[in-house]
Amino acid sequence: MLRALRIALVQLAVGSDKKKNIAEAVKQIHMAKQQGAQLVALPECFNSPYGTKYFNDYAEEVPGGETSLALLRAAAEAGVCVVGGTLPERCGDRLYNTCTVWDGCGKLLAQHRKMHLFDIDIPGKITFKESEALSPGDQFTTFDYEGVKIGIGICYDLRFSEMSHVLASKGCSMLIYPAAFNMTTGPKHWELLARARANDHQLYVALVSPARDTEASYVAWGHSTLVDPWGEVVGKLDENSGVLVCDIDLNKVEEVRNQIPIRSQRRTDLYDTITK
């Protein structure tokens, strides 16, 4: 089993030109490989601008569409695991916000459909109703990469501690969230939630955002971040496009879990009566 893993979080500049977005993602996957990355993660909605009015036009079938094909080829050519951000997935008459994961041979390892849709209303700041266009997924998603179990959530999924609890219970040592917080919730909750989830479950948490584009209809917060199992920020980008390359030390997961053994100290005999 790997005890260390080099990961690259790619904060892409995403625009309205789908082919250009895909080509830039592929280029960054190869560049990350040159920096020694074994796993490369892309942001939420990396092939299209983020917004309910765009999803139908940019949607594709998974795994048959052009974005999936480009990712599988890039993963196989570079020989890295690719956590392919998200794309609008078309399945019959439904659309989902979907993350695909490819191994270093280009095999589809996992497919996660965003479980919690982003419907919020903060008057005068931001109103968003993802459920106008998308359907929610209903499956928890984990995959094994070189003996490391990794869980996937997408953006708003990060707010739901029950979901991360389930992923941690399935044995995950790291959770990766392709995400795109905004200029209202980003400064308040982005880092707070990443650190909370990491501390709750004593695992690594990676958040991968698109770069900020102040001309876009939805302005992303950026600040792709990696937090360790102690809840400490290992690395963080600013709002501009860039790549965060970090080494994950899996011994740290065991270290904190052994030293602060909350996993075996939970009083499930008490809380289960409340949550059921």
Ligand X SMILES: O=C(O)CCC(=O)C(=O)O
- Which is catalytic among the residues 18, 24, 44, 246? 44
Handedness of CA 206, 209, 211, 214 (dihedral sign): negative
Choose, by CB under 6 A, the member of 155, 203, 234, 237 that binds ligand X. 155
Least spacing, CB of residue 100 vs ligand X, in Å: 17
Least spacing, CB of residue 135 vs ligand X, in Å: 14
Q: Where do runs of H (alpha helix) occur along 105-260?
A: 161-169, 185-201, 251-259
Within residues 6-65, the interface with ligand X by CB under 6 A covers: 44
Choose one: 9-17, 177-185, 202-210, 248-256; the region binding ligand X (CB under 6 A): 177-185
Query: How far apart, in whole angstroms, are the C-alpha atoms of residue 127 and residue 142?
Result: 31
Choose, by CB under 6 A, the member of 54, 55, 118, 177 that binds ligand X. 118
Least spacing, CB of residue 80 vs ligand X, in Å: 25
Choose one: 28-36, 142-150, 154-162, 242-250; the region binding ligand X (CB under 6 A): 154-162
Choose, by CB under 6 A, the member of 180, 207, 227, 250 that binds ligand X. 180
- Which is catalytic among the residues 45, 81, 99, 155? 155
- Mind giving me the DSSP string for 25-88? HHHHHHHHHHTT-SEEE--TT-SS-SSHHHHHHH-B-TTTSHHHHHHHHHHHHHT-EEE---EE
Number of residues counted as binding ligand X (CB under 6 A): 10
Query: How far apart, in whole angstroms, are the C-alpha atoms of residue 125 and residue 260?
Result: 40
Least spacing, CB of residue 86 vs ligand X, in Å: 9
114 catalytically annotated = yes
Q: Which of 188, 244, 179 is nearest to 218 (CA)?
A: 179
CA dihedral 104, 106, 109, 110 (to 10 degrees): 120
Instruction: Say whether residue 133 binds ligand X (CB under 6 A).
Output: no
Least spacing, CB of residue 185 vs ligand X, in Å: 3
CB-based contacts of 184: which residues, under 8 Å, 6+ apart?
122, 125, 126
Choose one: 31-39, 181-189, 229-237, 243-251; the region binding ligand X (CB under 6 A): 181-189
149 versus 189: smaller Cβ distance to ligand X: 189
- Which is catalytic among the residues 18, 114, 236, 252? 114
Long-range pairs for 62-66: beta carbons < 8 A, 24 or more residues apart: 62/87, 62/89, 62/91, 62/98, 62/100, 62/111, 63/100, 63/108, 63/111, 65/90, 66/22
Give the three-class secondary structure for 180.
coil
Least spacing, CB of residue 127 vs ligand X, in Å: 12
Choose one: 7-15, 152-160, 203-211, 232-240; the region binding ligand X (CB under 6 A): 152-160
Query: What secondary structure letter does DSSP report for 210?
Result: P
- Mind giving me the DSSP string for 185-206? HHHHHHHHHHHHHHHHHTSEEE
Instruction: Say whether residue 73 binds ligand X (CB under 6 A).
Output: no
Choose, by CB under 6 A, the member of 6, 149, 159, 257 that binds ligand X. 159
Catalytic residue set: 44, 114, 155
Binding site for ligand X (CB under 6 A): 44, 118, 155-156, 159, 180-182, 185, 189
